A and B are shown apart, each in its own frame.
Chain A
């Protein structure tokens, strides 16, 4: 199965923000100097380039987790991981519980707080472009090749090659290869990923089994519980019926 992914190599990034501009254009989002200075994802900004100082940068965007927490917690399936790779969103299904925002370990889903009828907004990995075989808007806009698109396993091989060919230029780690069960997007950097602002305290297990393992017990609790409580009910009530019948018998004998 194809896993359309992004490889972002921060050592090639020059902080020109073309990816931000390309993303805004492709998603019909506004973009100007003020928005360019906003260093966070939001309802009108799906990706941003963090400036780490000393000409170092780190892109942030939806990681498109292989087993995404946002999709697993959504009660109506408004968010889902496509077979192609990107995690997409269907506003018509969404009821606005915002559990995805609470659950996402990368704090990616953002909300239209100012609208009377709001929706969740996030990077959807340019699903339609990728489905048509085109690169994402950010990759297309990137002038240095810092962001490239492709099949995840091919990008992973490319990342490994860069690490082995030029070990001095990188932190020896491919962020997204294993984090939280792996993400479609892969990052390379010369700066420690934790210092670059990415979460590093989660480990390599995906989050959805944390709730999934508990939910798996629901049918058992329901059926066993009903059998036990039904049994208790029958016994306690029978005791009462027997007591009543015995009482009646005694009354008859006396009478």
Chain B
């Protein structure tokens, strides 16, 4: 209880700063609350809250596809926690967008003002539709808790098309976040600009989704004193290794074809950040996972999953911030209020996740017939 008290007080302090930053943002504008400028119009609210938020939510569609489409029943016990992460993730991404958009009350405009040539238009539609799908996929958990049989039966009838729709929307949406940056060939550093951005965003999302699932399962098992489903964690670890290797092959092959590898060996701020990212996302975790001693030890897999999640967060910040700095001519570092909002959003995510696990049948539930 003491530990919980500590984290609760940290959470409250973060929320207080977040509230002050929120006041600054909505009453004094983006200039007063961010370090953004005409030269650097996108900061961590896009780079972390949106780009990473969506990536961290990718466990949802990855596991829903594994369990309900490819029918690998072994993973069923962790499909719900992954779904919960996805649902909360998307709700928080929308919350973050309300901070970042200059006129958040116009967020619904893409519904009526069709602009199919715009990647942002597609991203907007996918977020909207996928959040709806996630709400429907998540609803049986609430219905079970409330013992509402009728809506439960109705939602189970449409569960197959829902899962398929969710996987398609996620695939499109995860990759589209990469496509956003295809329009800036002259601004994004060649270490990151490639026509394969949508493919790399999709692969990194799948890897991060798997790593997040390992991370969360381990954390919640500890927190609630449950035994860890060891075969599941080991299975996820093997999947993670395969996806990381595929990602590494695509990433380096693409750099080779674009003749961008030389850039990585020049001494520059960008190349340091590149090796930091690539070390965390490919070189270190793949090397560790090649050893049976890592693959068969849940605790070591837990450490690897933290590396991978952190590494892909660095990757997306490199694309949205580091790689854009040189062309902009300015150095961007977030204002305290940007950090406070981001931390509040992460804090809300952890809080809601803990509450949902406590009060809803997430980890323990009757198996669906």
Contacts and interface: CB of A to CB of B under 8 A. Distances in A.
Interface of A: 40, 42, 69, 72-77, 93-99, 101-103, 105, 107, 110-119, 199, 201-202, 207-208, 210-212, 214-215, 218, 221-222, 225-226, 229-230, 232-233, 236-237, 239-240
A40 to B, nearest CB: 8
A119 B102 CA distance: 8
A212 B117 CA distance: 6
Given A95-B103, A118-B29, A212-B117, A202 B180 contact: no
Contact of B110 (A75, A114, A118, A207): A75
Contacts of B71: 233, 236-237, 239-240
B109 A211 contact: no
A88 to B, nearest CB: 15
A232 B39 CA distance: 48
A23 B168 CA distance: 49
A45 B117 CA distance: 29
A65 to B, nearest CB: 13
Interface stretch (B182-190, B310-318, B338-346): B182-190
Interface string B208-228: 000000000000000000000
Given A97-B101, A107-B39, A233-B160, A113 B31 contact: yes
A147 to B, nearest CB: 24
A35 B210 CA distance: 54
Given A76-B110, A99-B180, A222 B115 contact: no
A113 B182 contact: no
B11 interface: no
A103 B179 contact: no
B183 A111 contact: no
Given A75-B120, A75-B121, A97-B120, 11 more contacts: A73-B120, A75-B124, A95-B110, A99-B120, A102-B184, A111-B30, A201-B186, A211-B118, A221-B168, A225-B171, A229-B69
Contacts of A221: 168, 171-172
B261 interface: no
Contacts of B120: 73-75, 97, 99
A110 B38 contact: yes
Interface in B291-345: 324
Contact of A98 (B42, B122, B164, B187): B42
Contacts of B26: 116
A211 B183 contact: yes
Most buried by A among B31, B120, B121, B184: B120
Nearest to B120: A75
B46 to A, nearest CB: 9
A128 B216 CA distance: 58
Contacts of A77: 113-115
B9 interface: no
B37 to A, nearest CB: 7
B158 to A, nearest CB: 13
A98 B183 contact: no
Interface of B: 26-32, 36-39, 41-42, 65, 68-71, 100-104, 106-107, 109-110, 113-124, 160, 163-165, 167-168, 171-172, 179-180, 182-187, 195, 198, 324
Contacts of B104: 95-96
A107 B115 contact: no
Contacts of A99: 118, 120, 180
A127 B118 CA distance: 24
A208 B117 contact: yes
Contacts of B117: 72, 208, 211-212, 215
A225 B324 CA distance: 33
A202 B186 contact: yes
A81 to B, nearest CB: 12
A99 B115 CA distance: 14
Most buried by A among B102, B160, B198: B102
B102 A118 contact: yes
A247 to B, nearest CB: 15
Top 10 A-B residue pairs of the complex, sorted by shortest distance between their CB atoms: A96-B102, A113-B31, A236-B71, A95-B106, A75-B120, A75-B121, A101-B41, A98-B41, A76-B113, A76-B109
Contacts of B36: 113
Contact of B118 (A74, A107, A111, A207): A74
Contacts of A215: 116-117, 119, 122, 179
Contacts of A69: 183
B103 A118 contact: yes
